Chain A
């Protein structure tokens, strides 16, 4: 009925039961909102690496890159490798996240600029989380349905039920602790098909014999070329700071070093996995010549699993795909819940309740947020297209964060002008038919220019606000007594 053998089903069930039981077991450590949202900032290097790898690696990325490489060759790798040039900057950025001692990125906007920016960012980030969760679920369901023959809608609901159970019970503690196991599954997902595929097509020599040499170029004329890729790299770097889950990914470590190693090297492992996805796509280009057109190219990943893997390993791959969904979505749920609970509910609806109440609200919101994401999942047109789309939006929100960190004179009016102006420029350039590179470049230039000009033409932020923010940035973790002696609060509450 399902197209799966008993062995495959046993592997999947064992994985799901095991990971859920472990997640629930460690969730008993969650006693308060700081534990639920930030894991009490007690994660060491290995857990931080696992968190960065699994939260940032999703089945739809592998599916998208393999699909793109199936059609345009190795250059399809850039759909994810565009961030490779941003990765060294994670080493420099992560201690900034840790030193702010904030729980959410909305805290950053509120503390550095204004409450209105914090609220505006919260709504934007909640929308992003729903969009991301939808993209992930859709990508995974598409593949699992292709392999098993089950209904896509049923898979979407089934997978969602799993990560809701996981995220609601254990928060970030359960998510990060299970990420270590999920990380192994990410690596399995990335490389398991390659030996079987190479065996089927006659090795790398077989690939070269059967494919156009252009398919092996890292720069393709079709779809991706140098200028748009360069601009995607730049916008990726600008926007990476504004991705709402990165406050937890980069700032929940025990020490600044664990944050640096975790975010930077977790992502390097992901870049390594990306090579596996692209090679998988190349093998598919030989195995399925002319079978899938542009709109269906993402189906090749599932088709390869079905055609190449023996009984048992098919189940392992499905478990790995579901694992990436659980890891990412549980993390997004927790971060989204933190945003709503801390930056909206606590600020505007119930400012003076006890921590147990906010923990309950956080858990309820986690589940509610997921319902919204399902609406996206059921109506998302294309996984890769959606990925590129939200990357461009985040970049503009990243501009005031960069400017706000390096330039004390930047203010809230400049930040608002930057976000609105760069977004307007981007959509105008898109409407008048500029290429993707031109759209991004013009929007980024307008964004940075407006942040500077409007800030210079208006009053700086209040001195005490600036003092508190920059004192945090100049106080490494472990020197909190300096802040206390100077009469400055440590957290953004």
Chain B
């Protein structure tokens, strides 16, 4: 006898006007997106959930600072 397997999808609610959408394991493990969740970050934010966004964003700002410093430093060479 073949047992019929019922497929169930775990869901999450993101807004009152959006029907439930599938849950993501990867999002729970650091792949959630800050911009997509911007208006509900007060409820959803944790470093673990947004790890990739947070680390990469901060690192990118470090590059901005370094580039600005480089630009400023170049104007001072030979002054």
Q: B-contacting residues of A (Cβ < 8 Å)?
A: 74, 77, 81, 84-85, 87-93, 95-96, 99, 203-208, 216-218, 256-257, 260, 264, 268, 271-272, 275, 278-279, 405-409, 460, 463-464, 466-467, 470-471, 473-476, 478-479, 482-483, 485-486, 488
Contact = CB atoms under 8 A, between A and B. Distances in A.
Contacts of A486: 9, 11, 21-22
Nearest to B40: A406
A451 to B, nearest CB: 14
Interface residues of B, number: 43
Point out which of B20, B31, B52 has the most chain A C-beta atoms below 10 A from its C-beta: B31
Contacts of A268: 60, 63, 67
Contact of B18 (A81, A96, A463, A476): A463
A408 B36 CA distance: 10
A482 to B, nearest CB: 4
28 contacts: A84-B67, A88-B57, A88-B61, A88-B64, A92-B35, A92-B56, A96-B36, A204-B79, A217-B75, A257-B52, A260-B56, A268-B63, A272-B70, A275-B74, A405-B35, A408-B17, A466-B15, A466-B18, A467-B21, A470-B14, A470-B18, A470-B36, A474-B14, A474-B27, A479-B24, A482-B9, A482-B22, A488-B22
B21 to A, nearest CB: 4
A275 B19 contact: no
Nearest to B16: A408
A268 B11 CA distance: 38
Given A85-B64, A474-B24, A476-B26, A203 B78 contact: yes
A92 B57 contact: yes
Contacts of B22: 471, 474-475, 482-483, 485-486, 488
A407 B39 CA distance: 7
Nearest to A213: B79
Closest 6 CB pairs of A and B: A204-B78, A88-B60, A205-B78, A471-B21, A482-B22, A204-B77
B75 to A, nearest CB: 4
B26 A479 contact: yes
A278 B68 CA distance: 13
B33 A92 contact: yes
B19 to A, nearest CB: 4
Point out which of A260, A471, A485 has the most chain B C-beta atoms below 10 A from its C-beta: A471
A187 to B, nearest CB: 15
A117 B63 CA distance: 37
Contacts of A460: 17
A464 B39 CA distance: 21
A408 B39 CA distance: 10
Contact of B25 (A466, A473, A479, A485): A479
Nearest to A276: B74
Contacts of B27: 474, 476
Contacts of B53: 91-92
